[in-house]
Chain A
Amino acid sequence: MKKLLTAALLLLLLPAWAHRVDLFLAEENGSLVVWAFYPDGTPAKGAKVRILTPEGKLLLEGTTDREGKFTFSPPADAGLLKVELYAGLGHKAETTYSLKEERARPSAGVLNQTAAARPRPAGPDWQKVFCGLGWIFGLFGILSLVYGRRKGAA
């Protein structure tokens, strides 16, 4: 029984969390790299990528590889690109990428920058967790006030 309990606790404490998918883009040797992750840093493998014009015309599509990457050559005249990523089971992310703006930046074309921005498996943001817990107890506290008042009035 004790062993089971320990196993259950261990299972609870494993540091991995996700359920959202994040999308990054960078230019590398004239190609654009789309990189998709879950917030715990796991790459989103085999996710469908669609590259569209801002008007919604499909330019090309593909799937991410084992590292969660999809590389493509952007059309020469492309200005703004809309990128949609679908990681299955209702997980979707989209972003826009402006080739012109990104190229004008001093750090243009350095994929490492994106790698640095990649979310590390740091686990949940505890401040937000506590903030949420506070809201929950606050809301139910208000609800109990409302119920109490009604009972008092009746």
Chain B
Amino acid sequence: MHVSEGVLPLWEVALGWGLTALGTAVGLKKLEGEKLPLAALLTALFFVASLVHVPVGVGSAHLLFNGLLGLLLGWGAFPALLVGLFLQAVLFQFGGLLVLGVNAFNMALPAVLAGRLFRNWIKEEGLKFYAGAFLTAFTAVLGSGLLLALELALAGEEFLTDALLVLALHLPTAAAEGLVYAFLLKFLKKNFPDLLEENR
């Protein structure tokens, strides 16, 4: 899910930085106040989660948890993911510093969207709650993968091949995340219900 340096053309790299900068600017405004400690905690979770791999037949894919950030932080997911990805690039050579903009955008945008789409489902009970938890994970993870496939297609790769590879690698990851979200959100709803409120 982390694009390496030197794969994407320069214009995509530049565009990625531009969009990430915008998202981060909006996000930093939204984070002001009580969301900040939560953002720190979730950034830490994201930073560590990418080190955990879900072994899949074809290769291995790691957990992302970007959907959770989108759900609980809204636009604040942009700065949070940017910090997390920066440290992953510097410390573990995941991705790279030049493509950091693209990588942050790829993971943050679908996460913000997933949060928007399914926040109200999460507030409900029963089937809708579980569907919301799983769909948040699926939208965020697969959305990131498909954005990546699209960017690689614009760089001259076959879209369908990459898109199918994304699905094969990340469907299990998304399912695993959905399961974790369901437990985590159940716990949060019970003990910290205001975390799920307002975060436009």
Contacts and interface: CB of A to CB of B under 8 A. Distances in A.
Interface of A: 4-5, 7-8, 11-12, 14, 16-21, 38, 40, 42, 86, 88-94, 123-125, 128-129, 131-133, 135-137, 139-141, 143-144, 147
B9 interface: no
B79 to A, nearest CB: 8
Interface in B22-62: 28, 31-33, 36-37, 39-40, 43-44, 47-48, 50-55, 59-60, 62
Contacts of B180: 8, 12
A96 to B, nearest CB: 14
A132 B92 CA distance: 10
A58 to B, nearest CB: 16
Given A20-B94, A89-B148, 9 more contacts: A8-B183, A17-B60, A18-B53, A40-B53, A90-B148, A125-B91, A128-B92, A136-B87, A147-B36
B120 interface: no
A144 B28 CA distance: 11
A28 B179 CA distance: 48
Contacts of A89: 1, 148-149, 152, 162, 165-166, 169
Interface of B: 1-8, 28, 31-33, 36-37, 39-40, 43-44, 47-48, 50-55, 59-60, 62-63, 83-84, 87-88, 91-94, 148-149, 152, 162, 165-166, 169, 176, 179-180, 183
B88 to A, nearest CB: 7
A139 B91 contact: no
Contact of B4 (A16, A90, A140): A90
Contact of B91 (A18, A88, A131, A137): A131
A70 to B, nearest CB: 17
Contact of B176 (A11, A20, A129, A139): A11
A5 B182 CA distance: 10
Contact of B48 (A21, A38, A133): A133
Given A18-B60, A89-B166, A94 B6 contact: yes
B150 to A, nearest CB: 12
A92 B5 contact: yes
B37 A90 contact: no
A38 B189 CA distance: 38
Contacts of A7: 179
A17 B55 CA distance: 9
A12 to B, nearest CB: 6
Most B CB contacts (10 A, CB to CB) among A38, A89, A94, A133 go to A89
What 3 A-B pairs have minimum CB-CB distances, sorted nearest first? A140-B40, A90-B3, A92-B4
Nearest to B184: A8
